[in-house]
């Protein structure tokens, strides 16, 4: 019984063989990149517009603030920027399609980003004019919401000082030494009633202040403009993915000696 002759395998010879077919690997990578670019052509283009709001803190009113305290103030503003009702109002003012507003699909086109003391509002749409209009309306609606909150924050600050005065007045009643006429035991019931009612109003004003404090100011220092070119939307990613696929197919082709087979077929 004859024995099979062992097949000689040399890694060096295999490497030489594959190096002679490097053109095939380059070709598959190039074709993969072209394929990724072609896939990108079938993706509908979209435009992006943005508005930028800067928030400032008056440290003469707040005193020294730790980093986390500054973050809390900024996040309170950010909650208003990202509020769904603010985005919806902006979309309606900009003329966003009603079916997308009703279904909530418009929210997929609104993006918010924080950079230190700036809030960036981005809107993406296949319509460049709509993207710019929505981004500006978003900034305007955010400003309106902040103004409302600041009004109540200022009222809450005044009520806090008023309540503090009432509490000090009650403390004086317990003193033996002479006190102000209004802070007398004869007005104790009235003071207690006023303290309770002011506390309720203060709670309501704090809620309506939306977590804001009177010591902040803001400015919309960048208004959205109509973009003149669409966003790439993953073009480079698709090209790189195509190149990776081409590389994988090329290595597989080299493993089965596909370049040599193709060349033999072309020989007469």
Spatial distance between the Cα atoms of 129 and 44, rounded to a whole number of angstroms: 16
Spatial distance between the Cα atoms of 177 and 145, rounded to a whole number of angstroms: 49
Tokens of residue 182, six digits: 């209004």
Q: Shortest CA distance to 39 belongs to which of 237, 249, 252, 173?
A: 237
Q: Are 247 and 32 in contact (CB under 8 A)?
A: yes
Residue pointed to by tokens 């203060």 = 202
Q: Are 214 and 150 in contact (CB under 8 A)?
A: yes
Spatial distance between the Cα atoms of 206 and 211, rounded to a whole number of angstroms: 7
Q: What domains can be seen in the chain, in order of their start residue?
A: 47-150+212-222 (3.30.70.1130)
Spatial distance between the Cα atoms of 233 and 109, rounded to a whole number of angstroms: 13
What is residue 114's predicted lDDT score, i.e. its pLDDT? 96
pTM > 0.85: yes or no: no
Q: Report the alpha-carbon angle 247-252-258, nearest 5.
A: 110
pLDDT tens readout for residues 131-178: 999 999 999 999 999 999 999 999 999 999 988 888 888 777 655 555
Q: What is the signed CA dihedral for 202, 195, 197, 72, rounded to 10 degrees?
A: 10
Over its length of 268 residues, how does the chain's per-residue pLDDT go in tens digits?
445 555 555 666 666 665 667 777 788 888 888 887 777 667 778 899 999 999 999 999 999 999 999 999 999 999 999 999 999 999 999 999 999 999 999 999 999 999 999 999 999 999 999 999 999 999 999 999 999 999 999 999 999 998 888 888 877 765 555 555 556 656 777 778 888 888 899 999 999 999 999 999 999 999 999 999 887 666 778 788 888 888 888 778 777 767 666 666 655 5
Tokens of residue 1, six digits: 């019984």
């Amino acid at each position: 019984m004859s024995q099979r002759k062992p097949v000689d395998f040399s890694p060096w010879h295999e490497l030489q063989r594959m190096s002679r077919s490097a053109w095939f690997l380059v070709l598959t990578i190039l074709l993969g990149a072209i394929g990724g670019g072609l896939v990108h052509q079938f993706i509908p283009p979209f435009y992006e517009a943005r508005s930028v709001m800067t928030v400032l803190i008056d440290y003469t009113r707040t005193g020294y603030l730790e980093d986390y305290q500054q973050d809390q103030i900024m996040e309170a503003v950010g909650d208003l920027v990202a509020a769904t009702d603010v985005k919806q109002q902006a979309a309606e003012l900009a003329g966003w399609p009603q079916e997308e507003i009703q279904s909530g699909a418009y929210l997929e086109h609104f993006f918010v980003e924080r950079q230190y003391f700036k809030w960036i509002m981005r809107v993406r749409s296949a319509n460049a004019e709509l993207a710019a209009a929505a981004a500006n309306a978003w900034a305007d609606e955010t400003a309106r919401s902040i103004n409302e909150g600041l009004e109540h924050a200022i009222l809450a600050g005044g009520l806090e000082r008023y309540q503090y005065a009432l509490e000090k007045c009650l403390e004086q009643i317990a003193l033996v030494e002479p006190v102000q006429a209004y802070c007398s035991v004869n007005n104790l019931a009235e003071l207690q009633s006023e303290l309770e009612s002011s506390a309720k109003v203060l709670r309501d004003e704090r809620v309506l202040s939306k977590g804001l404090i009177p010591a902040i100011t803001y400015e919309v220092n960048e208004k959205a403009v109509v973009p003149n070119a669409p966003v790439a939307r993953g073009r480079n990613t698709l090209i790189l993915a195509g190149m990776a696929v081409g590389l994988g197919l090329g290595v597989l082709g080299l493993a089965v000696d596909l370049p040599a087979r193709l060349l033999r077929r072309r020989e007469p």
